[in-house]
A and B are shown apart, each in its own frame.
Chain A
């Protein structure tokens, strides 16, 4: 019963049963568990609010008309607010890309694996260096294409070859080929 004088008596605090468990142990565990579950429930929305919001995710596909790109030319498009390189390779560039054995590369991939069947001359990659996210040079006329004739990232000196594969410098992987498909012979849909 409640002690109306306000003093906790020893039999109230240490009401130990035959098994040595106090009644108050149950209250402790129940209270801490409730606070813990509640805490997780509060942290989840706090963490999740940092992830991309619905309007950011809604901008996640782009269509590009590739008919006007001549061999040796490239265009920059925008996909998910990041640059997208679409490049029509010359026969020489295709031969150069196929001349190296993919197994010797840091990120082993062949040109065929990085392009679509029947469109081996159309290289679609993100224009985002896989090192720290700069935009490599080489898509526009007259820019430095690096030692392997593809793309060159000026920030930290990564060289990509004509298939957009990392050949020299700090970048760990090839330029990312985003998910895309030909919706007609001349239009690709990225994302």
Chain B
């Protein structure tokens, strides 16, 4: 589970010795995020985002538990309860703004974490299971965020619930009964609000559970690194503590500065003003869009405006779910034995000039009005999105000639490695 040169945990006093023999929890922490976990010495700041995501999960749970102490999931009072938190509860405004912006920052760091995985092919053997669990975490995050957004019972809350549960109506035959069952009524109301609150409280703990599996799976092969060359020797690694506790701590400080600027100076920028209007089942806001972190998938949903064998609505729903489910197949769609984009010239071009502009376009288009030219642009971007994962990636990973890899991480960092024999190149790490 770890490299043979990993430092061993030694209890420093009698109490810790006593504890170690009965419940070796300090040993577990030492081996997981302490000096007992050897990590590649060349990790860049792109490797900060896992720890940052863990931080924001904890922040969301702490602020969320506090908010739940002052909230009530009853459609007649929920909207007023949020205002009560904002105006009357001591520090309530800070808790709510931290929770609302915390969700956005959680998604920002998770998106960067995912795109790090795309560029460095972190999903490749032997790390497939880490990747699959990560996609599961992302799906759970989306469900949790959606249900949380319904709780303030503003106009965007209500119509978001209406639109998202309406997705299930696209399922042939059983769609309408499923929607009624999910909502516990014919439209979002008390029943829906209560069950969303219950599940919004539950799911973060499920996420925490899957995160533990994600980290467990990570510790079997150990962390990947920017060269994509596997660890070969002790000189390729440094202990997690103090090296990466310090590096992650610095990154956390930078992110918290930006987070504080948002919470204290611009807390509503990432939200929608319409959500400060109480839910009204008889009037739809002029522009219904989800929170920004759902925009790419919302753009894909709206891109289907024509029937082709199946109704347009069903295509939209299928494509939206497929856009995330395709990530589950990524370890097998990318067939190159080389991991890092730094050594894959063709892949690198399609990443920076294909996938990234495509995702940026989808982010923009998901928040735009449903009218031309945005619909057509969404259709083009959606087509390219699937083309990238299902066609371009398998083809370029088969035909491209990768650039020479360093013999080891040590060689990549120091320029030479005494263990590297003259004229040998490292076997592709696979």
B305 touches A135 (CB 8 A): no
A137 nearest CB neighbor, chain B only: B284
Q: Closest residue of chain B to A176, judged by CB?
A: B176
Q: In the complex, A156 Cα to B184 Cα: how many Å?
A: 25
Query: Do B184 and A170 have beta carbons less than 8 Å apart?
Result: no
B286: interface (CB < 8 Å): yes
What is the size category of the interface that chain B forms with chain A? 35 or more
Decide: B313 and A157 in contact? CB cutoff 8 A: no
Within 8 Å by CB of A172, from B180, B187, B313, B370, lies: B313
Contact A170 B304 (CB under 8 A): yes
- Are A81 and B180 in contact (CB-based, < 8 A)? no
Task: Return the chain B residue nearest A172 by Cβ.
Answer: B311
Whether B281 sits at the interface, judged by CB under 8 Å, is yes
Asked if B163 and A154 make an inter-chain contact with CB atoms under 8 angstroms apart, the answer reads no
Given contacts A83-B282, A172-B311, A172-B313, contact A50 B166 (CB under 8 A): no
Chain B residues contacting A80 (CB-CB under 8 Å) are 185-187
Interface residues of A in 78-92 (CB under 8 A from B): 78, 80-83
Task: Report if B21 contacts A (CB, 8 A).
Answer: no
Q: Select A157's contact among B180, B281, B286, B370, beta carbons within 8 Å.
A: B370
Interchain CA distance A110-B187 in the complex, whole Å: 28
Contacts of B346 in A (CB 8 A): none
Number of interface residues of A (CB under 8 A): 29
How many A-B residue pairs have C-beta atoms within 8 angstroms? Tell me: 92
Chain A residues 31 to 63 lying within 8 A of chain B, measured CB to CB, are 47, 50-53, 56
A119 proximal to B (CB < 8 A): no
**B316 touches which of A53, A78, A170 (Cβ 8 Å):** A170
Per-position 1/0 for B303-320, Cβ under 8 A of A: 011010001111010000
B311 to chain A: which residues have CB within 8 Å?
172
Q: Which of A51, A82, A127, A132 contacts B167 (CB 8 A)?
A: A132
Q: Are B163 and A155 in contact (CB under 8 A)?
A: yes
For B288, B304, B307, B375, the residue with the greatest tally of chain A CB atoms inside 10 Å of its CB is B288
B47 within 8 A of A: no
Using Cβ atoms and an 8 Å threshold, which residues of chain A touch B159? 134, 155
Q: Is the CB of B284 within 8 A of A155?
A: yes
B181 contacts A by Cβ under 8 Å? yes
In the complex formed, the residue of A with least CB distance to B372 is A157
Indicate if A76 sits at the interface (CB-CB under 8 A).
yes
| B-chain residues with CB within 8 Å of residue A51 when the two chains form the complex | 180-181, 184
- With known contacts A135-B282, A171-B313, A172-B312, A82–B166 Cβ distance under 8 A: no
Q: Which of A52, A80, A153 has the most CB of B within 10 A?
A: A52
Known A-B contacts A52-B191, A134-B159; the reply to A78 vs B282 at CB < 8 A is: yes
Question: Which residues 243-275 of B sit at the A interface, judged by CB distance below 8 A?
Answer: none
Q: Does B162 contact A (CB under 8 A)?
A: yes
Q: Give the CA-CA distance A127 to B185 in the complex, in Å.
A: 17
Tell me whether B189 is interfacial, beta carbon within 8 Å.
Answer: yes
Q: B301 to chain A: closest CB distance in Å? A: 8
- B219 in the interface (beta carbon within 8 A): no
A47 → chain B closest CB, angstroms: 8
Contact in complex: B163, A133 (CB < 8 Å): yes
Cβ–Cβ < 8 Å partners of B284 in chain A: 134-136, 153-155
Please give, as numbers and ranges, the residues of chain A lying within 8 Å of B288 by CB-CB distance.
134, 154-155
A18 nearest CB across to chain B (Å): 49
- Nearest chain B residue, comparing its CB with the CB of A171: B313
Within 8 A of B (CB), among A145-191: 153-157, 169-172
B283 at the interface (CB under 8 A from A): yes
Bound-state CA distance A143–B158 (Å) is: 22
User: Would you call A106 an interface residue if the criterion is a C-beta within 8 Å of the partner chain's C-beta atoms?
Assistant: yes
A131 within 8 A of B: yes
**4 tightest Cβ-Cβ pairs between the two chains A and B:** A132-B166, A133-B166, A172-B311, A157-B370
Task: Name 15 interchain pairs, CB-CB below 8 A, sorted by A.
Answer: A47-B181, A51-B180, A52-B180, A56-B184, A56-B186, A76-B282, A132-B162, A133-B165, A133-B187, A154-B370, A155-B163, A156-B302, A157-B305, A170-B312, A171-B313
